[in-house]
Amino acid sequence: MFVPVSGKMLILRGEVVRYIVVEDGKYHLGVNFFDSNPDDMLVLQKYIFTRTRRVLSE
């Protein structure tokens, strides 16, 4: 999965575990990531935290 975040291209590997239709043509996905390029998970975690202000996991 290629994820464009703040001018960076993150490369993450995982599987979709949830797929929820939220409106016409838009979806929420639950993804279990199991591999990534070095530091890509940290970049994604920091991006999500700054958008939601919540810690996702400890």
Whether 23 maps to a domain, the answer reads yes
Nearest to 35 by CA among 54, 10, 17, 18: 10
- Domain membership flag for residue 9: yes
Q: Is 48 part of any domain?
A: yes
* Structural element, H or E, at residue 47: helix 40-52
Instruction: Tell whether 57 is covered by a domain.
Output: no
* Domain assignment of residue 17, yes or no: yes
Per-residue pLDDT of the chain (58 residues; tens, 9 = 90+): 667 777 888 889 999 999 999 888 888 888 898 999 999 989 888 888 887 776 655 5
Say which residues have a Cβ less than 8 Å from residue 24's Cβ, sequence separation at least 6.
Answer: none
Residue 40, Cβ neighbours under 10 Å: how many? Answer: 19
Q: Is 58 inside a domain boundary?
A: no
How many structural domains are present in the chain? 1
In-domain check, residue 39: yes
Which residue segment(s) compose the domain that 47 sits in?
A: 2-52
Is 40 a domain residue? yes
Asked if 16 and 58 count as a contact pair (C-beta separation under 8 A), the reply is no
